[in-house]
Structure 1
Amino acid sequence: MSHMNGYVQEASGQAKSHRERAVDCPGDESSLVKSPHSSAHMERIQHYQEELKKRREEDSRGKHDIDPNASLRLKKLSQNPKVGIDNPTFEGKEKATKDTFPQDPVAELAELLQALKWAHHCLTDAQSQQDVELIMQLLTKEDFKNAYTIYIAVSQQMTKVIPTSPLTAQAGDLCQEVQKILQSSQHKEGLELNALLTNPHLQALMQAHDSVAGQEMPEESLTQYIGETVKLVRLEKARDTPLGATVRNDMDSVLVSRVVKGGAAEKSGLLSEGDEILEINGISIRGKHVNEVHDLLQQMQGTLTFLLIPSSQIKPAPHRQTVMHVRAYFDYDPSDDPFVPCRELGLSFQKGDILHVISQDDPNWWQAYRDGDEDNQPLAGLIPGQITARTNCYQYKKTIYWYGKSFQQQRETLKKTITDRSQEHQGRLWYAKKNKRQKKKSTTTLSRNIDYDDILTYEEMSLYHQPANRKRPIGLIGPTNSGHDELRRRLLSIEPEKFAVAVPHTTRNSRIHERNGREYHFVSRPGFETDLAAGKFIESGEYEKNLYGTSTDSVRHAINSGRICLLCLHTRSLQVLRSSNLKPYVIFIAPPSQERLRSLLASDGKTPKPEELKEVIEKAREMEQNFGHFFDATIVNMDPDQAFHELRRLIDKLDTEPQWVPTSWLC
């Protein structure tokens, strides 16, 4: 398996280096890739926030009777580093203003005159001394002193610290929250503030402020990315509607890796795979680990403003835009799959489940819902994709080689190879007393019967409602002594006008009481063999040198009579029956536990040996493993009466409910 091992190692490396993270799915934290610096970084942030909170509590103690912690937005606003007298940005500007523009312009002019006098004594050439004297005369004039004083006053007034960008775009919401807090206040100041906030003019002002702020706030961020093409995206994130996107790290960048169907991002159409996230609500994202982005978005609700660099990748044309319904022919658990790109979004399912595939944009990982879970599953889940093109493979020196298959096909092929070799090994131990020639023949036959090119993972399905005048044939299948033949006889005996059997063909001569077309269709051996070669028989066999078989024409004749045709099938008949246009409904009759099976057979007067009971159960397990994808339903025959009623319920359901059938049947 050198080729397979290489592929697995490569895929494993890719899985580790390109792990995605759903931005708003809790998931299993233990299974995620951890950031090596995230814990220390968070500790520093927490320590800084605690110190900042203490300082602000000391500054505001005794000044207000309104608790800012009563409102989440007020609390966030109070922690804004742009707000408050302890802001180092404002302090720096105020200090610069004081140093640049002193309070006494006359004193400054006097200092300047002293400096000019000192410079005048130091100069040697006459022209320079004359220039300095002119300046000194200008400074001593009263008109100049008054003009300079006015200039200083105006300059100080114009350079006062005024925010050039809005601090928030939710001033209206803040006013409403403050009003709610003030409802219980009896203080004069609180009542006066409440009256101001409820004034229609002030409310209109706040609304206009938020409208302008929503347009101006991004400009401050956009200036940091001059030279790059950026776009601004606003999404509404509600508690009951997840955002529906995954992100991944690419060096210091955080990229949108996948847009998941059913989320707010997909419904808006504003986020695209490959977009780089620069900021979210003004918070820089570059350099953050995907886990930090997840934790950040977990705490955010309402309007999310994304600053993005659009993806430069040319999107390929989507594979399908319509929903495709498939039946799964293997079990899948994302928690056991190291290759799933985002384990939180992985969709688990079992063999036989119907999956609604709504996106095949990624051919390796489809997005799908499990049938019946659409209401409880807001976001689509990830399932392994399936490339439908058939490929060639061969076996050489116990190694399987394949070309062009999807990864899931390769994994299922590997499972089948391991299972078959295990059975081969068990067979060698079981028949250890056989000679070498017999063992070699058995091994060669096993290897030849394995069709590694026909590993089926999904089959496309469609809903079908059987017509009232054309019932689907019911195929009962199970190992010997499972009770499937007894169930068929019971149905025929109770309601012969509703159920029928297909009249078989035979090459033996008719007996006295038999009539052609009633008990059997009596045909010649050459005619039987001709029809057999033409594929007209669902099943056939030879007994005492006579051929017997059930033809598709016999089944069709029973269906055309308006009755339900009952068939007891062998596993080798399933493929032939399904490839016809008869649309069978196959029910697997499974035996119960070994002890219960012994009791049921004993009630019928049978005394099977323990190894015979074990063989029945083992045969049922083998049938379900190899042919379970052909079964539409399964009945465990724990009790004959209960099994009979369950069988009737399944048959009656075909008249009232549409059933999933292969799409190829309806073409």
Structure 2
Amino acid sequence: MPALATGPGPDTGLYELLSVLPSQLQMYIKSTEDRSFLHTMFSSRGLHSLVKIHEELQHYKERCPAPVVDSAGALAEGVSEELQTKPLSADITELLKLLSKPHVKSLLSVHDTVAQKSYDPQLPPLPDDIDDDEDSVKIIRLVKNKEPLGATIKKDEKTGAITIARIMKGGAADRSGLIHVGDELKEVNGSSVEGKKPEDIIQILSQSEGAITFKVVPGPESEGPASEHKMYVKALFDYDPEEDKAIPCKEAGMNFRKGDVLWVMSQQDATWWQAKIEGGANPRAGLIPSKHFQERRLALRQTTSNTQPQKVSRKPSVLRRSFRLSKRGKKTNKSMYECKKSDQYDTADVPTYEEVAPYCRAHGAKHRLVVLVGPTGVGLNELKRKLLISDPQHFSVTIPHTSRAKRNQESDGVEYHFISKNLFETDLHNNKFVEYGEYKGNYYGTSLDSVRSVLTKNKVCLLDVQPHSLKHLRTAEFKPFVVFVKPPSIERLRETRRNAQTISGKGDRDSSRPLTDEDFQETITSAQQMEDQYGHLFDLVIVNDELARAFGELSQALKKVETEMHWVPVSWTQS
């Protein structure tokens, strides 16, 4: 680009230079849009203000200002003492009150720090008793409040040396950057640690507050840890370090509950991870068992448990009763069938942690599948019916498939999708069904395509299934939100289900009878078994104590599913 025409001299201010730039650039700008852009930019009040501020700062810097005094705090104290010897007038009283205010004292203290340029920390003097032949040591002073130091120690059984075993992420030791894994601890607050047990030293540190001085021999230098993958996991079990005999330091352990989202901050130790509860107030990480370690010991417990003699139940298996609702919300059909799926796939899993990521449904994206799970008699169909009635344009249910013949009053695709037995079995072989069963020689089932059909219509698909079917639905395609509906106490069941009836099949006919205490107890027992075995797959648990209250809780939760962020398996968010 050609040199600009001769403009203002080198002493001209930046503000004046910018004011003549547009005219200097005119000959090089051909586009009207570019000229308009330059004119708007150079005439901007914000730019003019910034330039003026820049020039004022430059003038201030050139003057090299120096403080009149570097001890304004002491001067203020002297003034206060002098004024107190004078007769107290209104002005003197006001000035004394002003000079005694904490924020004024703090302001003067900051002024003195800047004036004296005393920015370096005050370090303790080196001890006088360091031997010339002693290994090079570090004298470290940390200021500690009631929070733990955030480091664990161990004793070398051969040498007796006390060394730093791990530094907890986010703790006081980690934030200081002065203590490292492998450092050998020699003294704490001037007292030798020789001959002491790690528990004794931990007790000293836990009771110490304020400044703590350590004398350590630096450990072997090692390369800093590579940056770790930022991982969040959902806890699938409860954990209390006080009950864990294997944890190396109970004080460093972290409590969590099933369903908590944990930020795993370090996986350097293959057995004990460092993590904190996401969104928690504590910045310090705590020790938790690693996924591999927890899986190994839980699998071992299950193996031990399975070798014990088991009671053999002589009670026949319970048939699942499923009702499909028409668009009018009326009970139109009844089917009873035994589920043919095997539970072996689920019992082989050992729930520990599931890696998760934040997810929020984008506008216009397909709705998440809503899956209702619960024992027979808990009220799944009543809740589903109320949702359908509340907004039939938003909620819908699947239309089941059957191999039985169509009756005169039925229409294909309304009550059922009627297909041949051979086609049904072919689809079963090709894993096209979420679950299925057989009743009186005919197949009944819910297909994956029927779920897709509802979601494609931009509706929320409501589906109730047996809990062992959940794992076949937990895919990135469906992103299911699983709601477990559990019963209240047996007393409340007697009170709220007093007039309820159950249908039992006898031969080719069905008959109804009132529910008994045995039915209620079976519902409660079944719910407990479901929660024990599959609870780690549930996103929400609702107690159906009162239908209206349970419906309100469910409705509110489903609104949040559509508008708020939720933690989901990380594979659901990866393209």
TM-score (norm 1): 0.58
The alpha carbon displacement at 1:490 in A equals 1.6
The answer as to whether partners of 1:538 and 1:550 remain within 8 angstroms in 2 is yes
Q: RMSD of the alignment, in Å?
A: 3.7
Q: 1:464 corresponds to which letter in structure 2?
A: Y
The yes-or-no answer on 1:612 pairing with 2:519 is yes
Aligned pair partner of 1:217 in 86, 110, 126: 126
Match of 2:536 in 1: 629
Give the Cα separation in 1 of the matches to 2:248 and 2:123: 36
- Aligned CA distance change for structure 1 residues 501 and 225 (closer, same or farther; 3 Å): farther
User: Residues 561, 452 of structure 1: CA spacing in aligned structure 2 closer, same or farther, 3 A cutoff?
Assistant: closer
Is 1:462 aligned with 2:357?
yes
3-state SS in 2 of match to 1:634: strand
SS at match of 2:248: coil
- Give yes or no for contact 1:235–1:264 (8 Å, CA) kept in 2: no
Question: Do residues 381 (structure 1) and 286 (structure 2) align?
Answer: yes
Aligned to 2:88: none
User: 1:599 & 1:208 partners in 2: Cα distance?
Assistant: 78
In structure 2, list runs of 5 or more residues that go unmatched.
1-73, 82-111, 317-341, 503-513
Q: Does 1:426 align with 2:320?
A: no
Return closer, same or farther for 1:525/1:271 CA change in 2, 3 Å cut-off.
same
Q: Residue 131 of structure 1 corresponds to which residue in structure 2?
A: none
Which residue of structure 2 lines up, in the alignment, with residue 602 of structure 1? 498
**2:297 maps to which of 394, 411, 420:** 411
% identical aligned pairs: 39
The answer to whether the aligner puts 1:237 opposite 2:148 as a matched pair is: no
Name the aligned partner's letter for residue 384 of structure 1: P
CA shift in 2, pair 1:223/1:484, >3 Å: same
Q: CA deviation at 1:263?
A: 1.2
Match of 2:276 in 1: 369
Q: Determine the C-alpha separation between the residues in 2 that align with 1:212 and 1:591.
A: 62
Cα deviation 1:509-568 (Å, max 9, x = unaligned) = 334444333333333333322222222211112223222222222212211212111001
Structure 1 residue identity aligned to 2:234? R
Alpha-carbon spacing, 1:610–1:414, altered in 2? closer, same or farther (3 Å) = farther
Contact 1:358 1:368 (8 Å CA) reproduced: yes
Q: Displacement, 1:266?
A: 0.9
**Match for 1:278 among 186, 195, 205?**
186
Q: Distance in 2 between matches of 1:595 and 1:378?
A: 45
The CA distance in 2 between the partners of 1:562 and 1:617, in whole Å, is 36
Aligned to 1:622, the other structure's residue is in SS state helix
1:516–1:303 distance in 2 versus 1, CA, 3 Å = same
Whole-angstrom distance in 1 between the partners of 2:264 and 2:460: 33
Q: Deviations over 1:414-455 (max 9, x none)?
A: 333455556x62226889xxxxxxxxxxxxxxx994877632
CA distance in 1, matches of 2:522, 2:133: 73
User: Residue 257 of structure 1 corresponds to which residue in structure 2?
Assistant: 165
- Whole-angstrom CA distance in 2 between matches of 1:507 and 1:583: 29
Aligned residues: 430
Q: Does the residue aligned with 1:217 lie in a helix, a strand or coil?
A: coil
The 3 A distance-change label for structure 1 pair 497 and 221 is farther
**In structure 2, what is the equivalent of residue 162 of structure 1?**
none
Distance in 1 between residues matched to 2:144 and 2:156, nearest whole Å: 28
Q: Secondary structure, in 3 states, of the residue corresponding to 2:354?
A: strand
Aligned letter for 2:489? S
Alignment partners' CA distance in 2, 1:274 and 1:529: 64
Report the equivalent of 2:390. Answer: 494
Judged with a 3 Å threshold, the aligned counterparts in structure 2 of structure 1 residues 415 and 510 are, in CA distance, closer, same or farther, namely same
The equivalent of 1:443 in structure 2 is none
Pair 1:216–1:473, CA change in 2 (3 A)? closer
Deviation at 1:208, TM superposition (A): 12
Q: Which of 546, 550, 558 is 1:651 aligned to? A: 558
SS of the residue 1:427 aligns to:
coil
Give the alignment of 1:197-208 within 5 angstroms.
Answer: none
Q: Which amino acid aligns with 1:413?
A: A
- SS of 1:614's equivalent? helix
Q: Deviations over 1:103-146 (max 9, x none)?
A: xxxxxxxxxxxxxxxxxxxxxxxxxxxxxxxxxxxxxxxxxxxx
Of residues 240-249 and 266-275 in structure 1, the stretch that sits farther from structure 2 once superposed is 240-249
Q: Is the 8 A contact 1:277 1:286 kept in 2?
A: no
Helix, strand or coil at the partner of 1:572: helix
Aligned equivalent of 2:470: 574
Residues 267-306 of structure 1: matches in 2 within 5 Å?
267-298=175-206, 304-306=212-214
Superposed CA offset, 1:341-384 (max 9, x none): 11112222233332221111111111112244x21x24212111
Q: Secondary structure at the match of 2:187?
A: strand
In the alignment, structure 1 residue 476 sits paired with structure 2 residue 372: yes
Please, what TM-score do these two structures have when normalized by structure 2? 0.67
Instruction: Give the unaligned 5+ runs of structure 1.
Output: 1-175, 184-202, 388-405, 432-446
Q: Which has the larger radius of gyration?
A: 1
Tell me what 1:266 maps to: 174
